């Protein structure tokens, strides 16, 4: 493809994206395709001859779009808000066009330094003290793995440089609540701790970690000759957006020498609002913390913000220094290859930069407050309706609902009934919600916060849920 | 930003990218900025008001571009070719615009199924048998970590579900050559094996792993009560593109029950040429293999192709199945969140799809053969020049050179001299090469393969190196 064809197809594609987003509201939120249906539209063998890009792009409406679940749809209430603002789309396009490889400072100085700039902006926006240094990771799963690896090495005195976890020392243990995200168990297992050394502790009526259980577990492990290593506190769990008592956990972590990692992947964005920061009181004591601006904040995936108190420790765990990667500026600059697992790094700071320039802190705050108000409105509606109930406190923008028809108390039937409601709504294409199980109870999660979601869309999903409840 | 502003700025940015690539040849390859220079152009505080995207984009020539090292420049001969074709830039733009989240099949059926399609295409293009199944990872570093985690769990009988590496079994050991990439040591350390259990074995005069040393190391570990777990064979090492004897390594791996991972991150692309496949004879016995299409192949970063023989094993190591991620189609579809470390997944198949449609297999083969011919031409020039020497065989497109002035045999002075030559060329902005150390000898790596590199650029870098050698 030459420069002029790129210009022509590029303009076409920009227009296609704008038109896609303009007409999105009329598309079914959840893709209605059957397994195998998309695959069948593509040849099993690679194209021998080139020149097929224009034809490929001309086919996206027929070949690709039916297989897309529209995450930025105004009636997307599933999982979590996953916005990708126009500003961030343009920033990402610039990154693709520049094709800068930010593994070392020298290989892309702007990628390294603009990352420092935007991570500084985000730190301030989240109300975090200057003691934290930020670096972009792809996802919270990866950031949490980095955190547990750093914890492992701090507690073991850098055993990776000797016997690793195979050196025969006392087993290291990790703690989190039974409501913590699956990525925490995954990270603990991948880091080699083993399921036997992971304590997923019980939660209270508000689904928050119970401090007395944490204290008892730490003390029991110590008494048994094990070495408590790390605790993960969740600010906004996945199922219910519950909030662990960060301050109390931090005190226990300090007392027993544990690494404190705070997982605020989804709800961290709320901290752009000063009135929400009461929810992570004590966070300044964390060793590491992850917030996903690629969720509610609006920066297109993938952009996970990982903050650490001791970047030198992170670098010591992650660094490699073979001769072919050494440059003249080593020692005076950041080489971001040493700040995470992958060596290569995309220029992801650009999409954060353009998003923040475009929206501004005040614009973002207004949008987040709109979403919180929409959630409060829906909470009020549920409160005024006798046969619907909330299964968890609503701290931010996620509601955990279920429909309980009069006199129906059989949990198995209630589960089937609520699963059927969610499936009915999702298959209608009018809205997309997430069915999930909370401590044995089938619920319907409604997560509000797509950039384009207005009050009328929340009214519509509430109407759709009630209609489905009457007819399934 | 509304739809119309996105159209306007999007068209502008497409034009800017085309113009950037048109005029790139006149830009200095390596960014000339000093540390801190880019950062100083941006405010330390986030923008309060929004609406600044147009102004931000208007400033990229002044604020960003000077800090960019141009990886797609025709005179980029450093590190490895890192192409990002126009086709792949458009595919990535479509991915950003759709903002589909491919963690589960249901959350983006097209992202999952098009990934199956393009990974099937790549498998065929690389001459790999149908027994391999491919999945996209971000980088080879991450893919290799996945491989060693899978090896660890296979050898230990899924110890992660019990005591992990802390269960007190015999220590597991990992093998690779002393020329293997730094990411292999990093992966072994992060996976918890410990440096004491990693054997970086000596290489022969062609810098390939010595089979007899591998055999001896495995037998010694077994005799000492350790459990040999995994071996990494490199097809195209980073420093010299040397080639480990895959077939012999595979035989030892089979005999002793080791996981065989093949690292062909850079050179794997050469296997699109049937005449190159002799270089990885035996690869069909690998348990896992990584090739980076985001290097020489031309798909924009990040796109690492990870192939496995037993995807069920990968899924068993990586899977999480909390209720909030379950969908109606589980069991009949791939949920790609279970095929790697991150939960969230970008729709990266699009950039491979458009790149392959645009270039075609035959177009790619012609380009790769052009690069190999350019490398052979430079090898001939070096051979005809008395005071330059090659430090390693040239299997593909990377040359390891050094200048040896008449009668100069002092290694320290030769090192300083060749480092000075590389720095002189790099600082001139006319070309960018990589200084590196090979077994104590300072060399200059010239890696050919940018999409826009023609013979005249190779002639020019050869001229620049010789001129620098005369004047430093």
B31 & B139 share domain: no
Supply the Cα-derived Rg of chain B in whole angstroms.
24
- Chain A residues with CB inside 8 Å of B128's CB? none
Question: Are A52 and B323 in contact (CB < 8 Å)?
Answer: no
Query: Going by DSSP bridges, is the β-strand pair A198-201/A259-263 parallel, antiparallel, or unpaired?
Result: unpaired
- Chain A residues with CB inside 8 Å of B93's CB? 10, 13-14, 17, 89, 92-93, 96
A359 & A332 share domain: no
Residue B328 has pLDDT above 80, yes or no: no
pLDDT tens string A219-244: 999 999 999 999 999 999 999 999 99
A233 & A159 share domain: yes
For chain B, what is the mean pLDDT? 96
Which residue from B11, B109, B161 is facing A31, i.e. has the nearest CB?
Answer: B109
Query: Among A272, A219, A218, A213, which residue's Cα sits nearest to residue A245?
Result: A213
Tell me whether B343 touches chain A (CB under 8 Å): yes
CA distance A389 to A236: 20
B335 & B364 share domain: no
Q: What is the CATH number of the domain that holds A215?
A: 3.40.640.10
**CA B40, B41, B46, B49 torsion: positive or negative?**
positive
Question: Are A357 and B52 in contact (CB < 8 Å)?
Answer: yes
pTM assigned to the model: 0.97
Tell me whether A361 touches chain B (CB under 8 Å): yes
Residue A330 has pLDDT above 90, yes or no: no
Question: Are B195 and A166 in contact (CB < 8 Å)?
Answer: no
- Chain A residues with CB inside 8 Å of B68's CB? 98, 100, 108-111
* Nearest-by-CA chain B residue for A148: B190
Number of structural domains found in chain B: 3
Report the run of H or E that residue B56 belongs to, with start and end: helix B53-58
CA distance B44 to B56: 15
Tell me whether B280 touches chain A (CB under 8 Å): no
Q: What is the pLDDT of residue A407?
A: 80
Q: What is the CATH number of the domain that holds A54?
A: 1.20.1340.10
Helices and strands counted in chain A (H then E): 13, 11
Question: Are A86 and B5 in contact (CB < 8 Å)?
Answer: yes
Query: Among A137, A184, A191, A114, which residue's Cα sits nearest to residue A306?
Result: A137
Q: What is the pLDDT of residue B212?
A: 98
* The two structure tokens encoding residue B117: 């399609």
- SS3 of A402, please? strand
* Nearest-by-CA chain B residue for A101: B71
Residue B322 has pLDDT above 80, yes or no: no
How far is the CA of B370 from the CAs of A48, A51, B401, B453, B462, in angstroms?
Answer: 18, 19, 21, 9, 17
B95 within some domain: no
Q: Which residue has the tokens 């207005």?
A: A454
From the CA of B362, how many Å to the nearest CA of chain A? Answer: 6
> Rounded mean pLDDT of A181-198?
97
Query: Going by DSSP bridges, is the β-strand pair B304-308/A388-390 parallel, antiparallel, or unpaired?
Result: unpaired
> Rounded mean pLDDT of B168-196?
97
> Rounded mean pLDDT of B57-80?
97
Tell me whether B325 touches chain A (CB under 8 Å): yes
Instruction: Give B327's pLDDT tier (boundaries 50, 70, 90).
Output: confident
B91 within some domain: no
Query: Among A448, A264, A461, which residue's Cα sits nearest to residue A367?
Result: A448
B37 within some domain: yes
B139 within some domain: yes
Q: What is the pLDDT of residue B408?
A: 80
CB of A294 closer than 8 Å to CB of A303: yes
B393 & B258 share domain: no
* The two structure tokens encoding residue B333: 């579809």
Residue partners of B397: CB distance under 8 A and separation at least 6 = B81, B241, B270, B296, B371, B372, B374, B375, B447, B448, B449
| CB-based burial label for B434 (10 Å; 0-12, 13-18, 19+) | buried
How far is the CA of A15 from the CAs of A6, A223, A298, B56, B355, in angstroms?
Answer: 14, 65, 21, 21, 20
B127 & B246 share domain: yes
Residue A326 has pLDDT above 80, yes or no: no
Q: What is the pLDDT of residue B170?
A: 96
Q: Which residue has the tokens 């005249």?
A: B456
B154 & B198 share domain: yes
Last residue of a domain, which of A44, A68, A92?
A68
Q: What is the pLDDT of residue B83?
A: 96
Q: What is the pLDDT of residue B409?
A: 84
Q: Could you say which residues from 17 to 36 on chain B have a Cβ atom under 8 Å away from some Cβ of chain A?
A: 17-18, 20-22, 30-31, 33, 35-36
Q: Which residue has the tokens 């992202």?
A: B111
Tell me whether B171 touches chain A (CB under 8 Å): yes
Tell me whether B122 touches chain A (CB under 8 Å): yes
Which residue from A87, A141, A363 is facing B342, i.e. has the nearest CB?
Answer: A141
| CB-based burial label for A15 (10 Å; 0-12, 13-18, 19+) | middle
Q: What is the CATH number of the domain that holds A430?
A: 3.90.1150.170
B93 within some domain: no
B366 & B324 share domain: no
DSSP A107: T
Which residue from A53, A190, A321 is facing B354, i.e. has the nearest CB?
Answer: A53
* The two structure tokens encoding residue B201: 């074995």
> Rounded mean pLDDT of B381-397?
96
CA distance B237 to B178: 10
Give CA A324 to chain center in angstroms: 34
A13 within some domain: yes
Residue B184 has pLDDT above 90, yes or no: yes
Residue A401 phi, psi dihedral angles, 5° rounding: -110, 160
Q: Which residue has the tokens 């086709």?
A: B87
Give CA B356 to chain center in angstroms: 18
Residue partners of A407: CB distance under 8 A and separation at least 6 = none
Among B164-178, B179-193, B404-418, the range scoring the smallest mean pLDDT is B404-418
Q: What is the pLDDT of residue B313?
A: 95
CA distance B437 to B106: 49
CB of A262 closer than 8 Å to CB of A290: yes
Instruction: Give A332's pLDDT tier (boundaries 50, 70, 90).
Output: confident
B339 & B409 share domain: no
Query: Going by DSSP bridges, is the β-strand pair A398-403/A198-201 parallel, antiparallel, or unpaired?
Result: unpaired
What is the domain extent for residue B214? 101-346
Helix B311-318 / helix B140-155 crossing angle, nearest 10 deg: 90
**CA A97, A103, A109, A110 torsion: positive or negative?**
positive
Q: Give A461's Cβ-side CA count (13 Å radius).
A: 32
Q: What is the pLDDT of residue A320?
A: 79
Which residue from B46, B67, B122 is facing A121, i.e. has the nearest CB?
Answer: B46
From the CA of A305, how many Å to the nearest CA of chain B? Answer: 14
B56 & B125 share domain: no
A291 within some domain: yes
A374 & A339 share domain: no
Which residue from B125, B171, B239 is facing A324, i.e. has the nearest CB?
Answer: B239
Mutate to test the interface with A, among B150, B151, B194 (most CBs of A within 10 A): B194
Query: Going by DSSP bridges, is the β-strand pair A441-447/A398-403 parallel, antiparallel, or unpaired?
Result: antiparallel
Instruction: Give A328's pLDDT tier (boundaries 50, 70, 90).
Output: confident
Q: What is the pLDDT of residue A444?
A: 97
Q: Could you say which residues from 227 to 256 on chain A have a Cβ atom under 8 Å away from some Cβ of chain B?
A: 238-239
Last residue of a domain, which of B302, B323, B346?
B346
Residue B115 has pLDDT above 80, yes or no: yes
A91 within some domain: no
From the CA of B278, how many Å to the nearest CA of chain A? Answer: 22
- Chain B residues with CB inside 8 Å of A30's CB? 106
> Rounded mean pLDDT of B253-262?
98
- SS3 of A202, please? coil
Query: Among A355, A472, A325, which residue's Cα sits nearest to residue A91?
Result: A355
- Chain A residues with CB inside 8 Å of B361's CB? 46-48
Question: Are B13 and A94 in contact (CB < 8 Å)?
Answer: yes
Query: Going by DSSP bridges, is the β-strand pair B227-234/A398-403 parallel, antiparallel, or unpaired?
Result: unpaired
A331 & A359 share domain: no
């Amino acid at each position: 493809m030459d420069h002029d064809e790129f210009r022509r197809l590029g303009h076409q594609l920009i227009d296609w994206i704008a038109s896609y987003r303009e007409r999105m509201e009329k598309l079914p939120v959840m893709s209605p395709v059957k397994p195998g249906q998309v695959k069948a539209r593509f040849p099993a063998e690679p194209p021998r001859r080139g020149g097929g890009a224009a034809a490929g792009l001309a086919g996206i409406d027929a070949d690709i779009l039916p297989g897309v679940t529209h995450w930025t749809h105004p009636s997307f209430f599933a999982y979590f808000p996953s916005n990708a603002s126009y500003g961030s789309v343009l920033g990402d396009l610039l990154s693709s066009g520049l094709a800068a490889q930010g593994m070392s400072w020298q290989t892309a100085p702007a990628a390294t330094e603009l990352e420092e700039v935007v991570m500084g902006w985000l730190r301030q926006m989240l109300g975090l003290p200057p003691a934290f240094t930020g670096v972009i990771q792809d996802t919270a799963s990866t950031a949490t793995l980095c955190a547990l690896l750093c914890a492992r090495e701090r507690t073991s005195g850098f055993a990776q440089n000797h016997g690793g976890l195979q050196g025969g020392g006392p087993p290291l243990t990790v703690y989190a609540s039974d409501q913590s995200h699956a990525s925490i168990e995954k990270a603990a297992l991948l880091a080699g701790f083993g399921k036997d050394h992971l304590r997923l502790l019980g939660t209270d009526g508000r689904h928050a970690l119970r401090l007395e259980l944490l204290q008892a577990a730490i003390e029991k492990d110590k008494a048994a000759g094990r070495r408590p290593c790390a605790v993960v506190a969740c600010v906004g769990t996945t199922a219910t957006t519950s909030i662990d008592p960060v301050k109390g956990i931090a005190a226990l972590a300090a007392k027993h020498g544990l690494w404190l990692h705070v997982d605020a992947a989804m709800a961290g964005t709320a901290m752009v609002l000063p009135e929400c920061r009461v929810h992570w009181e004590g966070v300044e004591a964390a060793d590491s913390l992850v917030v996903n601006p690629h969720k509610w904040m609006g920066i297109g995936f993938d952009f996970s913000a990982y903050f650490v108190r001791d970047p030198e420790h992170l670098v010591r765990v992650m660094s490699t220094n073979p001769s072919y990667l050494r440059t003249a500026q080593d020692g005076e600059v950041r080489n971001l290859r040493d700040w995470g697992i992958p060596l290569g790094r995309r220029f992801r700071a650009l999409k954060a930069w353009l998003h923040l320039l475009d929206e501004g802190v005040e614009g973002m705050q207004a949008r987040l407050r709109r979403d919180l108000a929409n959630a409060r409105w829906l909470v009020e509606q549920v409160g005024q309706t006798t046969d619907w109930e909330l299964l968890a406190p609503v701290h931010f923008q996620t509601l955990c609902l279920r429909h309980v028809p009069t006199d129906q108390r059989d949990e198995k039937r209630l589960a089937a009934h609520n699963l059927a409601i969610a499936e009915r709504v999702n298959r209608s294409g009018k809205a997309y919600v997430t069915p999930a199980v909370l401590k044995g109870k089938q619920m319907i999660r409604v997560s509000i916060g797509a950039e384009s979601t207005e009050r009328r869309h929340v009214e519509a999903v509430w109407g759709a849920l009630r209609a489905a409840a009457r007819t399934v």
